[in-house]
Structure 1
């Protein structure tokens, strides 16, 4: 490199020294040697014009300016009869760039990286920029653990002073972590410390997490995790002395050594509160998680400071400062902490500013806010408001900030920035089973009509067995207090005749109703609904006896007035990407006297989300249902509970689990008939797709399902079915996609299986 700089300097010095004529008045300027560069371009840079007197100083300046353009590798000035002759030797232009051997990266991304380094087609070729580009390519490969990468660059001259550049890449094997050693640890085993780190030796998951590949950023994060591990266990004097990262000569194995000093374990001797407390000291002490006599834990200290800060923020002190000052007794290995409280100034909310809602009206967002303009700042109300807006399901992200108002000491604004997502969907679903073949269904829905927050859906199921046509509308804020009003109209047909192994019958139900939703608490809603429906039942010679008996008792046409009452609680942190919180739903349906049916049904559904780590979320789902008649007559068979399928026990046909009936006592032709009781449970471990952790639209999961329907509790074990599998949920630009592959765990020959299921839709 130094040699190249010396050559360039010598060439430049030669060009300057070549000017040795007397000063003269320039009558004309002529440019020679250009092939691609326009003469006008040279004139625009040249600091000498016709009529100027050219002397040695101006000649030197002209050569410097033309060199600085980067267009030329040699510049000379001559004089011919008072005509200034500018002789240039152009640098070649890059005609094409080719990359061979790249597998780790897409070529388009490598080309973009080269462009940022100054190497791209049509640009002027520079050897120094080429070397910089090579280093940038190597840096990208090293970041992926490809320490053995070799890049060979070839430049080929072409006609018209152009060059072609070829990058021949030999990626080599990815270097992986062979061992992580700890030096100085006595209280904890190496295996226990390694389990806290993200970096690790190759295992079953590292093929897609890439955590067996060394990264300086990951190591820095791991060291901080290690520090937190010790500080949370009372080791206040813990220190990481040094770290060594070495790689074997063949560039395949990496060894990491962490030298640490554990120190002694400290306990908390005393807790004091000082400063301007504003709120009673007793209340503050309840928020301090550290207790005298316990082993010190930094996590508890940090959480205590946050709780006190949030508590003061609820009273308007948005800029409170809480400092925990330690008094360390090294001899007795104890530490006392004094919480100094400075509430700072009290502030109120001047204005709530909303941005990003191009489609959704401001009022739809504002009505979810529990923090009011003109009121004192409240951390609890602001956090609650953010969660309520997020749970609407209209936005991919909701960010809330509270900047201070310029030139005001007692005011802050709330800046709400949302990123809208499609809230309408045209859904198409499909499944395949041996019994029913291909099953198709679809729906059209819009959760946010014209940005008003109102919901409308139109469902259509075109299956040969189940046909559904349903329309639904809901205004979630029918009143200013949040009382919702909804209307439903539906037509549901069930025809089992296409199923050769099933006793035949047909039901046609036509109904309509309304719903009221009344909020009774911040996250609790009670709903009341009343509908009127007519069901026409058709039976045939090969229909099940229980269905024929029902028609004989109630007639082919029955009128029913179902009254529904439900309670729902939603405490999830997000409607699209929940990682914590719970949902509860208690639903009851009873036929109102005056109709032809006398029955009631009760069901309860609970879902619990728990963040195991930043990567994994555990979801537990439980459902139970119970139905019966209150007038001594049987529960209508078309009001039975069913189980099996994508929304209950995956791996089994839709509604195929539970008691079965035979046709004319032929046990080889059994079919599910539903039951008066239902139980379903799901355990699902959800996690983002590796390398796409920040993408809220894509999620993987592994699950264990179980459930069935039954009439007598003694039959529960006989009918219970289980399955396990994997699932993918993707809110794609084309629409939501759900795919699951399940393996039944205790199926019997008469069960109807459906291992693969998917649903796909188009959003708008």
Structure 2
């Protein structure tokens, strides 16, 4: 029994023996009954009447609240038994540490005074020693709030809840203590929970029993809970979290159901903690049952389409094995088909019948179409910055029209694709006056679309870099894009300013402009400077498709390059700088198709574009250029994304001019073939000047000829990149990637001039951009010009 409980009992006994009943305390209850009864009888026969009842000592608890709890009433006969019941009732309120009742008699009239000592208020709750669990989460778990009365039973319960919270997060060694610190005597206290987190328990081993058809590695790879390993400190594997563990059970069941094991059972895992409480062993028992195939598939109920047309929508009968995820997708597609006819609340119920003898699942999709629904009011909620029209112009549905599920989904995707919001939800409700009308609240949670970034680093290709940018993707809440950036490195500099109005004067036309200046000293044979600007005009051509026209004015200046000794590097015969310097005035037409779910970090969708540039609108440099690009993104499972990029480009001279050599194509570097240095893949030419210099230095003819070959570039380039990106530490934005690249840059593309590489990398999606650390290994190379291993550090996405 606690100290406070003993004190309360002592006070109560003192009161009962000295104040209420004027009898000495008895050792046994049985012997005490007669005197108490005698006293009560004496009180009853004495004729004492309760004339007045007073309450003293209360500060926070109202007098009326206390009087409503007591049995004794003014005007009734005085009773010691009633006084005992009053004291017990007041203690049961939980507000008092002590209660005394004084009786003052004047003749037959009695005045009772109930003197209470209230429990102190908790004015502050603090948590000490917690670094792995947020104080807010601990507070939610305890349920104790500031300014409540101190209740030690609830404090003890809170300690147990905190202990359970830490155990659920894998901290089985955590120790929790509580301390009450007096702030104002008898009135206010501070409640302190002292936490020693200690080491986190690690998952040592996960064992499956009964999994005959699905291997351990296959099951473990899909679970959120992972066994600890050498890189646990970096990857976070081996952590035990109760919420993740509960989800793992559902994941395992889903995996079996998805493979046709529709009667599979996954028992609740058994968790064994080692005596030192540093490791746990998990055992999961599985009853797989038999694998079932898809049997007969039929349709019933309110059929609005021929069965043959409905059968074209579903995919489950193509799979052979009964797959739960395919079934869910089929239900979604069938529901959408009815929804496109206005039946917003159509219900598709899959009726299954198990044929255990033939191990088949016969399936009937039963339709309940409900009633047709029309869109009512469409309201925007949560957009404190973004104007309503910025959201509304992305909608494919309108007030008053018949409900359409496909266009509703497209509207949701269009708003998400803007990138202005963390969350977008369509909340629907029935109009109380017209049940056939559905009102829609488009609820958004805005994200910070403005960024000011400044970063510095070191890249193997660029050397030391300094990056800075100011961007606002939702300028003034109008959906406009304003940005300025700079990039300074050992290999050059780049400055730019851009502005885009996606809906010029509230039309479907987009209008934008760019200004830029760059200096590139990264080429081996010459330096390159550009100053220019562009005006862009765009308009949608079809769903997910836009057309653009861009006029560009560019002033190019090429300059000679010298080594550290002041010796000329540029071969004027091979690279006649004046022929590639001058003004380019061009018009480019582009068609883009974009279904990506996120333009910054896509996990699914397609991006493709085709463009044609005509550089012949005046100016000095004249050529034509064609580009084609196709990118494909697919979320294979969980957070593993398959990314693909195919690109082809060609440039040709115009009006009898040769293509400026600075515009010819070379590959290599962190943004093309990652197993080769920048500008190290492509057509090469022989430099007579370099050859003669090397011969003069005493080099052999073979060595001089080899080193005199310069990367020149070709009029065509083709490239394919593919990679798998997966999370390493998801919470920190650290991803891993494995990649394969192949490409060529030459005048004529043949099998012999394609180069390929493989590699892996680590990417950090940091506040200053995507930091990429990648190791590439060329599969075919010329040792004289290309390294066996290439490490690249760069800032920016791969594609």
* Cα-to-partner distance string for 1:377-436 (whole Å, 9 max, x where unaligned): 111111111111212222222222333332433221232112222333344454435886
Task: Check if 1:702 corresponds to 2:734.
Answer: no
Aligned to 2:472: 446
Count of residue correspondences? 734
Name the SS of the counterpart of 2:315 in structure 1: coil
Aligned to 1:318: 344
Distance (whole Å) between structure 2 residues aligned to residue 364 and residue 159 of structure 1:
56
Q: Is the 8 A contact 2:203 2:226 kept in 1?
A: no
Aligned to 2:383: 357
Aligned to 2:592: 568
Aligned to 2:133: 105
What are the residue-to-residue correspondences of 1:176-215 with 2, within 5 Å? 176-183=203-210, 185-189=211-215, 192-203=218-229, 212-213=238-239
Aligned to 2:517: 492
State the TM-score, normalizing by the size of structure 1.
Answer: 0.80
Distance (whole Å) between structure 1 residues aligned to residue 404 and residue 597 of structure 2:
19
Residues 207 and 424 of structure 1: is their aligned pair in 2 closer, same or farther, counting only changes over 3 Å? closer
Distance (whole Å) between structure 2 residues aligned to residue 251 and residue 664 of structure 1:
74
Distance (whole Å) between structure 2 residues aligned to residue 680 and residue 272 of structure 1:
47
Q: Is the 8 A contact 2:225 2:244 kept in 1?
A: yes
Task: Check if 1:609 corresponds to 2:630.
Answer: no
Task: Check if 1:741 corresponds to 2:763.
Answer: no
Aligned to 2:508: 482
- Deviation at 1:141? 1.7
- Deviation at 1:264? 3.6
Aligned to 1:171: 198
Which stretch shows the higher mean deviation, 522-531 or 314-323? Answer: 522-531
Aligned to 1:135: 160
Aligned to 1:145: 170
Q: Is the 8 A contact 2:742 2:756 kept in 1?
A: yes
Residues 353 and 645 of structure 1: is their aligned pair in 2 closer, same or farther, counting only changes over 3 Å? farther
Which stretch shows the higher mean deviation, 610-619 or 704-713? Answer: 704-713
- Deviation at 1:139? 0.4
Aligned to 1:385: 411
Distance (whole Å) between structure 2 residues aligned to residue 548 and residue 267 of structure 1:
69
Distance (whole Å) between structure 2 residues aligned to residue 401 and residue 444 of structure 1:
35
2:551 to 518, 522, 530: 530
Aligned to 1:34: none
Q: Is the 8 A contact 2:666 2:683 kept in 1?
A: no
1:422 to 434, 445, 448: 448
Name the SS of the counterpart of 1:312 in structure 2: helix
Aligned to 1:373: 399
Distance (whole Å) between structure 2 residues aligned to residue 674 and residue 428 of structure 1:
34
Which stretch shows the higher mean deviation, 72-81 or 716-725? Answer: 716-725
Which stretch shows the higher mean deviation, 154-163 or 164-173? Answer: 154-163
Name the SS of the counterpart of 2:419 in structure 1: coil
Q: Is the 8 A contact 1:23 1:56 kept in 2?
A: no
Distance (whole Å) between structure 2 residues aligned to residue 651 and residue 16 of structure 1:
91
Q: Is the 8 A contact 1:309 1:322 kept in 2?
A: yes
Task: Check if 1:728 corresponds to 2:753.
Answer: no
- Deviation at 1:454? 3.0
Residues 306 and 597 of structure 1: is their aligned pair in 2 closer, same or farther, counting only changes over 3 Å? same
Distance (whole Å) between structure 2 residues aligned to residue 72 and residue 327 of structure 1:
64
Task: Check if 1:519 corresponds to 2:540.
Answer: yes
Residues 43 and 303 of structure 1: is their aligned pair in 2 closer, same or farther, counting only changes over 3 Å? closer
Distance (whole Å) between structure 2 residues aligned to residue 397 and residue 449 of structure 1:
19
- Deviation at 1:101? 6.3
- Deviation at 1:545? 3.0
Residues 444 and 321 of structure 1: is their aligned pair in 2 closer, same or farther, counting only changes over 3 Å? same
Aligned to 1:19: 20
- Deviation at 1:227? 3.1
- Deviation at 1:230? 3.3
- Deviation at 1:522? 0.3
* Cα-to-partner distance string for 1:281-332 (whole Å, 9 max, x where unaligned): 2101212323399443333333322221111111111111222323444344
Q: Is the 8 A contact 2:673 2:756 kept in 1?
A: no
Residues 329 and 539 of structure 1: is their aligned pair in 2 closer, same or farther, counting only changes over 3 Å? closer
Task: Check if 1:287 corresponds to 2:287.
Answer: no
Name the SS of the counterpart of 1:325 in structure 2: strand
Q: Is the 8 A contact 1:678 1:707 kept in 2?
A: no
Distance (whole Å) between structure 2 residues aligned to residue 93 and residue 242 of structure 1:
43
Name the SS of the counterpart of 2:603 in structure 1: coil
Name the SS of the counterpart of 1:516 in structure 2: strand
Residues 474 and 491 of structure 1: is their aligned pair in 2 closer, same or farther, counting only changes over 3 Å? closer
Q: Is the 8 A contact 2:546 2:592 kept in 1?
A: yes
Q: Is the 8 A contact 2:174 2:196 kept in 1?
A: yes
Q: Is the 8 A contact 2:271 2:282 kept in 1?
A: yes
Distance (whole Å) between structure 1 residues aligned to residue 3 and residue 490 of structure 2:
82
Name the SS of the counterpart of 2:317 in structure 1: coil
Residues 478 and 100 of structure 1: is their aligned pair in 2 closer, same or farther, counting only changes over 3 Å? closer
Residues 280 and 548 of structure 1: is their aligned pair in 2 closer, same or farther, counting only changes over 3 Å? same
Residues 657 and 19 of structure 1: is their aligned pair in 2 closer, same or farther, counting only changes over 3 Å? farther
Name the SS of the counterpart of 1:138 in structure 2: helix
Task: Check if 1:274 corresponds to 2:290.
Answer: no
- Deviation at 1:201? 3.4
Aligned to 1:227: 253
Pair member with larger Rg = 2
Q: Is the 8 A contact 2:346 2:368 kept in 1?
A: yes
Distance (whole Å) between structure 2 residues aligned to residue 327 and residue 435 of structure 1:
63
Aligned to 2:612: 588
Distance (whole Å) between structure 2 residues aligned to residue 757 and residue 386 of structure 1:
35
Distance (whole Å) between structure 1 residues aligned to residue 273 and residue 201 of structure 2:
12
- Deviation at 1:652? 8.2
Aligned to 1:432: 458
Distance (whole Å) between structure 1 residues aligned to residue 362 and residue 55 of structure 2:
85
Aligned to 2:424: 398
Residues 90 and 651 of structure 1: is their aligned pair in 2 closer, same or farther, counting only changes over 3 Å? farther
Aligned to 1:620: 644
Name the SS of the counterpart of 1:612 in structure 2: strand
Distance (whole Å) between structure 1 residues aligned to residue 248 and residue 620 of structure 2:
68
Distance (whole Å) between structure 1 residues aligned to residue 416 and residue 129 of structure 2:
45
Distance (whole Å) between structure 1 residues aligned to residue 163 and residue 544 of structure 2:
54
Residues 30 and 495 of structure 1: is their aligned pair in 2 closer, same or farther, counting only changes over 3 Å? closer
Residues 333 and 627 of structure 1: is their aligned pair in 2 closer, same or farther, counting only changes over 3 Å? same
Aligned to 1:35: none
Distance (whole Å) between structure 2 residues aligned to residue 659 and residue 380 of structure 1:
50
Distance (whole Å) between structure 2 residues aligned to residue 191 and residue 437 of structure 1:
43
Q: Is the 8 A contact 2:56 2:116 kept in 1?
A: no
State the TM-score, normalizing by the size of structure 2.
Answer: 0.77
Residues 380 and 433 of structure 1: is their aligned pair in 2 closer, same or farther, counting only changes over 3 Å? closer
- Deviation at 1:112? 3.6
Name the SS of the counterpart of 1:221 in structure 2: helix
Q: Is the 8 A contact 2:249 2:268 kept in 1?
A: no
Name the SS of the counterpart of 2:540 in structure 1: strand
Aligned to 2:531: 509
Structure 1 unmatched runs, 5+:
32-37
Name the SS of the counterpart of 2:429 in structure 1: coil
Residues 177 and 158 of structure 1: is their aligned pair in 2 closer, same or farther, counting only changes over 3 Å? same
Residues 528 and 737 of structure 1: is their aligned pair in 2 closer, same or farther, counting only changes over 3 Å? closer
